[in-house]
Structure 1
Amino acid sequence: METNISELVERLGSDEDAVRKMAVFKLQSSIGDPSFADVFIAEGGLTRLRYLTLHASGNTLAYSLTSLARLLEVDKGWEFVDQEVVERIVELIVTHPLVNILRGAMSILVSIVSHPHTGGRLSERGIFGFRALRPAIAIYPQFLEMLVSRLSSADHALCANALQLINSLMRDSITNDSELEWPKFIQKLQDLGVIRAVYSLMQGSTLQDHAHPLIEFQSLTKVLLRKWRDIPLDLEKPEHRRALKGIHLASNTEKNHDKGIDGTVDVRRSKRHNPEKWRRLGFESESPTVQFENMGFLGMMDLADYVRNYQEEFQRMLLEQSAKPSQQRCPIARASLSVTSILYEHFEVDKSEMEDAKSYLILESRSNVDKLFRPLLLHWTRLHVAGLHAFFRLWKATGAELEDYEKIVELIRILVESVVGGAPRTKDVQDVEEELADFEYARLRELQMEILELTYEDFWGQHLRQIREELHHEALQFVKEQRIRCLLQGAWFPSSTTPKPETGLSSDPEWKFVQLSHNRRFLHFGYFESMGNGSPELDALPDKIDLSVVSSVVSNVSTTPDDSSSSTVKSATHNVSSTKITIHGYVQPVSSPDDLKKSNTHTRSASKTTQKEAVLLSLRPQTPSIASEWLDGLLMLLNQQPITAETSKLINLVSNYGLKIRLLNVRFDDAVFTSEAPTVPSREGLDDDYFYDVFGGN
């Protein structure tokens, strides 16, 4: 093998370009083997490879760059990498149009910039890391612009190499530059459009070809956010002091409050200290730095960005809030910091890079790709503004006060989780902004309750099921009482040609009124020519059924929601509902009309063997509600289960409402009253000698 390598090195130095080209072409496929690389360097091949890198052109140059890049990837050949090589590579990236040359050149710079992170021995020489590129970039200042422009290249490999190089530059800058330098570099990249370009790649259809550098860029974005968050607000630093002062100046306080009658600024008034200088902007105290303890300089950046880009809205809101009582004012600055915190938690910014790196392991599965990438993270600022606008909208819509602040924050958290968290990878940020702006408050409350129930289900599953059962039983008793009260109130039913049960003859009267007795033991009814203006007295109803002889209640009332609308269709000729409730019961055989006259009450005076089951009464409800009330009321009165969809819906409604009240732990002072809260009656002068008359009446 050594003989072959010696021949290869000799051909690299040939005077004929064709020989050199073939030699370096073969070299690029073998030099990635560390043992081959060691022999190649020992034979003096690195000197000739470096010469070709600096002076060759065309394909010979492309193969040379690829060979050098692969040699550096196995951490060999660093001793021949100097400022001349770096400047040559930067020059190629800026001036050369050929893709195959650009790929190799960018791969070399990635190794050079990343070398300190790989534990290279020679990093102390100062020609590695981002600082190695600075002299060359000073000669070719358009380097970064050209690099960002390559992110839109149609060649996927070149695009991936460009992003990989940008990642290396960002990481090195964040790690090794001073606190003043790295933010400037990041800002410069953003000004050149790197966010827009990477966002487009993340949403594109060629995601798999750029997956690894995109994942790294996403992780670096979190690193940046975390680094900004970890910088405490320090007014001793000029840039921090300027940022805070800019927010105050944008509030336009001097223009609004310090002008004299002639429109000029009263210098004496403007110098006067405003006792609510910071609280009027939405801070909790006159020491605004305390408010930034959790979100650090990241919170300041988000607030300053909103104030700068929405200055007129900011000033208008401050003017509107100043006219309200202090408890009703929306705390703008505090709300901004809360939205920043919500986004920080939602995107799991504190998640370590090691955990993000595990994402590489599942990149092979295309079905998991959409779950890995969070393009909306790149539009942090726009999401912050949209979230802040949603906060303002909910504050106004709910009539919130300062004591309700945390409740609004919780709603915004749910809103972000629903809209931002539920957005697919390809959903545009503008659509997300619009959805955040249009999301209805009622729907948001429903989501809140669903999440609350799921949370309690996870932690208190067994207890929650027990509570549900208890509440369902309570709701059933509540609805039972409501249905029976409908029977106690009574109702009119068309009688049409329904035969009277005691004669079997057709009835001339058109209506019958049916009412349950106060003691709930008898069902009274009577026939009338018309309904009249009101309900007849119970004593005016001549007939009654002893409920103890009722054997069953049968009906064609719908038991499913889909059929409820068709169950009460009226006949065009008789104006009578098609819905029918039939009450069956046991009656004593009738031997003669005289025996019937002895009592108009059906009683169970003999054993069932001497009785027969017959129709005691038929009802034709005119609406679905009346049908549900009377059918289920009769069934529940007989200690049977309700069967109609309307009653089931009512039971579930009452049960769920009770559950929500328990989950929300609503206190008395949380209730909203249209007027003053009712006073609790005094028990002074009362003792325990009392009782409830529940089943009064006949």
Structure 2
Amino acid sequence: MDQADIPALLSRLASDEDAARKMAVFKLQSSINDPAFADVFIASGGLIILRRLIMSTGGNTLAYSLQSLTRLLEVDMGWDIFEGPGAGDLVERVVELIVTNPLVNILRGAMSILVALVGHSQSGSAAARPGGTSGTVRTPGAFGFRALKPAVAVYPQFFEHVIAQLQSADHALCANALMLINALIRDAVSNDGKSGGGSGAQGGEEWSKFIKRLQDLGLIKAVYNLMQSSSLQDLAHPLLEFQSLTKVLLRKWREVRVDLERPEHRRALKGLHLASAPDRRHVTNGVGAAATEESNTNGSDKKGSRKHNPEKWRRLGFETESPAVEFDVAGFLGMMDLTDYVRKNEDGFQKLLLEQSSRPLSERCPVARASLAVTMILYDHFEVDKSDLEDVRGYQTLDPSKPSDRLFHPLLLQWSRLHTAGLHAFFRMWKATGAERDDFDKVAELVRILVDQVVGQASRTKDVLEVEDDLQEYDSGRLRELQMDLLELSFEDQWGPHLYQVREELKHEALQFVKEQRIRCLLQGSWFTKPQPRSSGSQHNRQDSYQRRGRLYQPWRYAKLSHNRRYLHYADFPEQTAQEPGLDALTEKVDLSTISSVVSNVSAPSEEEEAEANNNTKDPIETSTMSTYPVPGREAGRGSNTKPTTKITIYSFTEDINPPLVGSGSGGEPKEEPILTLFPLNHSLASEWLDGLLMLLNQAPITAETNKLVTLVSEYGLKIRLLNVGSLEQQQHAGLGHLGAGGAGTGVVPSREGLDEDYFYEI
């Protein structure tokens, strides 16, 4: 619309005919966001007419008027409409529309105006604003939440109606309602201690009470549902702003120091003490019990007897009898979390204290200290100290049509429930690990990993109830494995090449260890089966085929490595003997120096063997070194009727005694021939003998079982070294050890006085 048409437009806006006004204000909303047009409109007295339309009209005319004022404020013009004698009436009119009007298009415009009004609290003077009148004195309380207070006093259900719109099916209205809430929270927090000329403490109480009022009206649940809904695309920006504001509030609560001079802090601590059932008889250490008994005996008044309880706060899990000091790290946020947990779980809290009081002091789980630790674990996990604008900027760099789920953390809004679930997980870990007071930091680290694994890996749409269950049921053994993996990664990042060198050294040591173990299996000796020869048609031929070198077929073969590891002795037997044969009974032998190769058809375990292995609860090292042999004295038919699944064939070079043909290639070359065949009874025995023979010949093992064993041993060695380094660092921090000039750790060396050599390692 041309600026020359503004007088005619103003005339139609001031008309008594509703149709003319409606058409004029409809055109106005599409032109007023042009600053040049808006400047002439304001200079011509348009704000007075626009204000009159908002105050007196309804329906679409009112909706277009509200939209026109919204667009005017978007270009940072027209703020004078909220200053002067009638400004309060205009704000009250907009608040009234939100409370009483059901039309969506009117509600959207009304909330947009209040968003701009509240968010304008940090602006400069009127003279510096476009459209402002030079020299105008700004009316106190004209902007920000202060501007709404008189109107909200008239319509106290205002906040309830705004929060109710978060469930609206109209996404634009829902977004406007959330933006209004964000503006109100940001204004309340940013003006902490400035409102009403009160002190910082009073200001802190005001914003805290305001936030609690919104939470009591269901704000958190409503925004949590929005953040998990499918309408994320239309609400992404206000949701991210609310998420950032949640971090701001958590930071502010943490920054508030616990001060017993403040009544609400004193009441919170007193509530903790009373909820712990202090009058109930509980077990204390000898000194505490004696002191309590003495005070009850000598003290004439009740006040004196209560005053001398030596464990008033320590039995709740504090380290000292001055609990306020222990909130220095977590601040008032830590006190809020602890009191909230106790209030919602009072019976469980009392039972837990009674249970802990029956244990020795060193084994008791410090409940209060654990609560503060979980608070800081959540605080660090959600990166609360991160700039509140970084999430919004991260969203702005992405495609707005495809908002990234990784930017949204709906579980942050379930802080209280996560704290309770994390605290219960702490208690569970403490009990499962048999921890003592000195192990507190180790249990806290396990809980930190648990939170990172469960909460950090949770999808945006995962319900908080599932997360609570996962925190409570996560396997502690699996968690320890994860901790070791993370420890290894952290050391690898820090020590890279050194850790690679250590890993290679340990792998070589593990290979030598497993080589010795495999060779010892050969030195111990083993029984093998022999398949029956193929039988011909007649009984006479079958008997002839059973004869081999003048001897009858014998179904068992026993093989054993000589003590000097130079010869492999073996012999065939008609049945397994009660006592394993000695080397003198093994009539055949193979010189290892003549072996050219060892070949095997080692296959995967059979279904029965695999099922047996899965049911075996022993460690892999133990099951590998203890193969399953047939029990002596059982019928020989068991071994002879079972079809072998594996075969190990030993080859040796032999000279060809036949002269070569004329014109043929070179003759007399050695060729390989099988000299011994072994049929192991099971897959583990096949792995031991095949790789044992290969290692005797200085060749690498080839079976998966042996290679897995090598990896297992080397990984155990690496983890033990990493744990030793971690223990050394803890000693250094505690002043128990130090690094010498050569880089080696110097700690307390345990004494072996009174110990003998009768010991073993259990892995």
User: Cα–Cα, structure 1 residues 410 and 667, in superposed 2: closer, same or farther, change >3 Å?
Assistant: closer
User: Cα–Cα, structure 1 residues 303 and 668, in superposed 2: closer, same or farther, change >3 Å?
Assistant: closer
**1:37 maps to what in 2?**
38
**1:642 maps to what in 2?**
701
| Deviation at residue 369 of structure 1 after TM alignment | 2.0
1:665 maps to 2:665:
no
> 1:295 aligned to 330, 333, 342, which one?
330
Q: What CA distance in whole angstroms lies between the structure 1 residues aligned with 2:233 and 2:672?
A: 77
Helix, strand or coil: the match of 1:224? helix
**2:752 maps to what in 1?**
680
**1:600 maps to what in 2?**
none
| Bigger Cα displacement from structure 2, 280-289 vs 456-465 | 456-465
| Deviation at residue 613 of structure 1 after TM alignment | 3.2
1:633 maps to 2:692:
yes
Q: What CA distance in whole angstroms lies between the structure 2 residues aligned with 1:61 and 1:103?
A: 12
1:126 maps to 2:171:
no
Helix, strand or coil: the match of 2:224? helix
**1:148 maps to what in 2?**
163
> How many positions carry a matched residue from both structures?
658
User: Cα–Cα, structure 1 residues 268 and 154, in superposed 2: closer, same or farther, change >3 Å?
Assistant: closer
1:522-561 paired onto structure 2 within 5 Å? 522-558=567-603
**2:528–2:557: 8 Å Cα contact kept in structure 1?**
yes
> 1:168 aligned to 183, 189, 202, which one?
183
> 2:310 aligned to 275, 288, 292, which one?
275
1:604-643 paired onto structure 2 within 5 Å? 609=668, 612-643=671-702
**2:560 maps to what in 1?**
515
**1:524–1:538: 8 Å Cα contact kept in structure 2?**
yes
Q: What CA distance in whole angstroms lies between the structure 1 residues aligned with 2:709 and 2:606?
A: 12
1:102 maps to 2:107:
yes
User: Cα–Cα, structure 1 residues 492 and 367, in superposed 2: closer, same or farther, change >3 Å?
Assistant: farther
**2:651 maps to what in 1?**
584
**2:656–2:668: 8 Å Cα contact kept in structure 1?**
no
| Deviation at residue 408 of structure 1 after TM alignment | 0.7
User: Cα–Cα, structure 1 residues 67 and 193, in superposed 2: closer, same or farther, change >3 Å?
Assistant: same
1:173-212 paired onto structure 2 within 5 Å? 173-177=188-192, 178-212=203-237
**1:561–1:645: 8 Å Cα contact kept in structure 2?**
no
| Deviation at residue 540 of structure 1 after TM alignment | 2.1
Question: What TM-score, normalized to structure 1?
Answer: 0.89
| Deviation at residue 248 of structure 1 after TM alignment | 1.1
> 2:121 aligned to 113, 116, 121, which one?
116
**1:498–1:506: 8 Å Cα contact kept in structure 2?**
no
| Deviation at residue 160 of structure 1 after TM alignment | 0.6
User: Cα–Cα, structure 1 residues 564 and 678, in superposed 2: closer, same or farther, change >3 Å?
Assistant: farther
| Deviation at residue 562 of structure 1 after TM alignment | 10
**1:653 maps to what in 2?**
712
User: Cα–Cα, structure 1 residues 393 and 439, in superposed 2: closer, same or farther, change >3 Å?
Assistant: same
**1:280–1:322: 8 Å Cα contact kept in structure 2?**
yes
> 2:423 aligned to 376, 379, 388, which one?
388
User: Cα–Cα, structure 1 residues 200 and 80, in superposed 2: closer, same or farther, change >3 Å?
Assistant: same
User: Cα–Cα, structure 1 residues 120 and 540, in superposed 2: closer, same or farther, change >3 Å?
Assistant: farther
User: Cα–Cα, structure 1 residues 266 and 476, in superposed 2: closer, same or farther, change >3 Å?
Assistant: farther
Question: What TM-score, normalized to structure 2?
Answer: 0.81
| Deviation at residue 579 of structure 1 after TM alignment | 1.4
> Which amino acid is the alignment partner of residue 591 of structure 2?
D
For 1:571-629, what per-residue CA distance to the aligned partner results, in whole angstroms no more than 9, with x for missing partners? 997434131111111357899xxxxxxxxxxxxxxxx9586532221111001111000
**1:494–1:576: 8 Å Cα contact kept in structure 2?**
no
**2:735 maps to what in 1?**
none
User: Cα–Cα, structure 1 residues 271 and 678, in superposed 2: closer, same or farther, change >3 Å?
Assistant: closer
> Which amino acid is the alignment partner of residue 582 of structure 1?
T
**2:655–2:668: 8 Å Cα contact kept in structure 1?**
no
**1:354 maps to what in 2?**
389
1:426 maps to 2:484:
no
Unaligned runs of at least 5 residues, structure 1: 592-607, 671-676, 685-698
Q: What CA distance in whole angstroms lies between the structure 2 residues aligned with 1:545 and 1:520?
A: 11
Helix, strand or coil: the match of 2:348? helix
**1:464 maps to what in 2?**
499
Q: What CA distance in whole angstroms lies between the structure 2 residues aligned with 1:372 and 1:103?
A: 27
> Which amino acid is the alignment partner of residue 54 of structure 1?
M
Helix, strand or coil: the match of 2:143? coil
> Which amino acid is the alignment partner of residue 355 of structure 2?
E
User: Cα–Cα, structure 1 residues 428 and 118, in superposed 2: closer, same or farther, change >3 Å?
Assistant: farther
User: Cα–Cα, structure 1 residues 681 and 298, in superposed 2: closer, same or farther, change >3 Å?
Assistant: same
User: Cα–Cα, structure 1 residues 426 and 120, in superposed 2: closer, same or farther, change >3 Å?
Assistant: farther
Aligned-residue identity in percent: 60
Q: What CA distance in whole angstroms lies between the structure 1 residues aligned with 2:354 and 2:301?
A: 20
**1:317 maps to what in 2?**
352
**2:266 maps to what in 1?**
241
| Bigger Cα displacement from structure 2, 623-632 vs 459-468 | 459-468
| Deviation at residue 668 of structure 1 after TM alignment | 9.2
**2:531–2:640: 8 Å Cα contact kept in structure 1?**
no
| Bigger Cα displacement from structure 2, 175-184 vs 579-588 | 579-588
**1:70 maps to what in 2?**
71
| Deviation at residue 49 of structure 1 after TM alignment | 0.6
**2:199 maps to what in 1?**
none
1:1-80 paired onto structure 2 within 5 Å? 1-80=2-81
Q: What CA distance in whole angstroms lies between the structure 2 residues aligned with 1:294 and 1:665?
A: 30
| Deviation at residue 328 of structure 1 after TM alignment | 0.4
| Deviation at residue 402 of structure 1 after TM alignment | 1.0
Q: What CA distance in whole angstroms lies between the structure 1 residues aligned with 2:548 and 2:654?
A: 14
> Which amino acid is the alignment partner of residue 195 of structure 1?
I
| Deviation at residue 457 of structure 1 after TM alignment | 2.8
**1:601 maps to what in 2?**
none
Q: What CA distance in whole angstroms lies between the structure 2 residues aligned with 1:243 and 1:456?
A: 43
**2:619 maps to what in 1?**
none
**2:356–2:364: 8 Å Cα contact kept in structure 1?**
yes
> Which amino acid is the alignment partner of residue 680 of structure 1?
R
Q: What CA distance in whole angstroms lies between the structure 2 residues aligned with 1:272 and 1:199?
A: 46
> Which amino acid is the alignment partner of residue 641 of structure 1?
A
Q: What CA distance in whole angstroms lies between the structure 2 residues aligned with 1:461 and 1:528?
A: 57
**1:559–1:645: 8 Å Cα contact kept in structure 2?**
no
> 1:222 aligned to 247, 252, 264, which one?
247
**1:497–1:507: 8 Å Cα contact kept in structure 2?**
no
1:158 maps to 2:173:
yes
Helix, strand or coil: the match of 1:256? coil
> Which amino acid is the alignment partner of residue 90 of structure 2?
V
Q: What CA distance in whole angstroms lies between the structure 2 residues aligned with 1:406 and 1:562?
A: 46
**2:605–2:683: 8 Å Cα contact kept in structure 1?**
no
